[in-house]
Amino acid sequence: MKRAIFLLCAFLAAGLAAMPAIAGDEDHDPVSSSRRSDARRGEATVQILRSVAVTKTANLNFGALFASARASTVRVRTNGARVCGPGLNCLGTASAGAFAIAGIPGESVSVSIDDPTVTLSDGASHAMPVTLSVSARHLTLAGGNATVRIGGLLKVAANQPAGVYSGQYSISVHYQ
Amino acid sequence: MSQPGSTRLLLRLAMLTLLVSTASSAWAANPHNRPAIDEIRSISFGVIAASSASGTATLSPSGSLTCMGIRCLGGASPGLFAITGAKDYVVAILLSPARLRTARGATLDVQLTPSQNIMVLRPGNAKNAFSVGGALTVSSNQAEGSYEGSYLVSVEYQ
């Protein structure tokens, strides 16, 4: 019996000896002052989608004209219809310029003509200015696709020299 | 029926020993309420349209997104974490970089920034929140896809 009491007392003493250290450590660990840490892994995500693609599908074409002694204009609307000004004879087929836009389905894009005034040249120092217009400045890519059309107003000088006149323009398309 | 004095003492000691043992076990289950981190929300840069040019997207810990050279289409949100622990702990917050990957193996690197580098924990068991922003660089013609990855968030304290 005495031996059992001694063992219990020893166990009790060991337990009580541990208590002050725990009771005195209400917030911080007093045993070690070395730097410690906790760590977790955080998640990060991003969705990358394809850029918008623009492809020319038709040239802006004013057709053939017979110039006159009077300055005039020819307009090609964005729907392709041509309006000849007074004194001009318009022949052949006219067409609006067209671009196919492909991108993210359902996203909206803005369309702008980089320089809305271009000059057509016959390569022999004769020129004709064109003011361009766009069918829509904002489009939604339904199904990921849309078409934008370009019209223009061509100024024809009096007695404009005969020839084949051509020039270039560019458009920019951006997601909104 | 009376018990001998030595037997009563033995029983009392046994009960006291049991109490001490139980108290020690409770402390061991929650040793010292040390700072611990929990992720509340992952960081997302949302949807970005790649282009033929490279660019960067920078998301501040407060949630403002700045995109240079690329088109950001929305859906970005900073990461959010909470530290719990005993009051008055001073903790340092450290973040590793992250490498995001698609299932096809394309990668994007992200540098992460916490809303604060040092934090003094508030009293009680309050969640001490901090947010995480970051910057990612999108290369020209970056491959399409859903990029995912992880980074290490650690708190150091004494």
What's the pLDDT tens digit per position in B113-156? 999 999 998 876 678 999 999 999 999 878 889 999 999 999 99
Mode of pairing for the β-strands spanning A127-134 and A82-84: unpaired
Structure token digits, residue A87: 């004194």
Domain limits for position B149 = 33-156
Do B20 and B5 sit in the same domain of this protein?
yes
Q: Which of residues 107-166 of A touch B (CB under 8 A)?
A: 107
Report ipTM for this prediction: 0.77
Do B91 and B152 sit in the same domain of this protein?
yes
Instruction: Evaluate whether A116 touches A167 at the Cβ level (below 8 Å).
Output: no
Mode of pairing for the β-strands spanning A171-175 and A145-156: unpaired
Do B2 and B52 sit in the same domain of this protein?
no
Least Cα separation, residue A78 to chain B (angstroms): 28
Do B128 and B139 sit in the same domain of this protein?
yes
Taking an 8 Å cut-off on Cβ atoms, the answer to whether A19 and B23 are in contact is yes
What is the total count of domains within chain B? 2
Do B18 and B52 sit in the same domain of this protein?
no
Do B73 and B100 sit in the same domain of this protein?
yes
Chain B interface includes A8 (CB < 8 A) = yes
Q: Which CATH number fits domain A53-175: 1.25.40, 2.170.240, 2.60.40, 2.40.50?
A: 2.60.40
Instruction: Provide the whole-model pTM.
Output: 0.58
Do B52 and B127 sit in the same domain of this protein?
yes
What's the pLDDT tens digit per position in A63-112? 999 988 999 999 999 999 999 999 899 999 999 999 999 888 888 899 99
Q: Where are the domains of chain A?
A: 53-175
Do B8 and B42 sit in the same domain of this protein?
no
Report the pLDDT value the prediction gives residue A34, as an integer from 0 to 100. 63
CB contacts of A11 in chain B (<8 Å) are 17
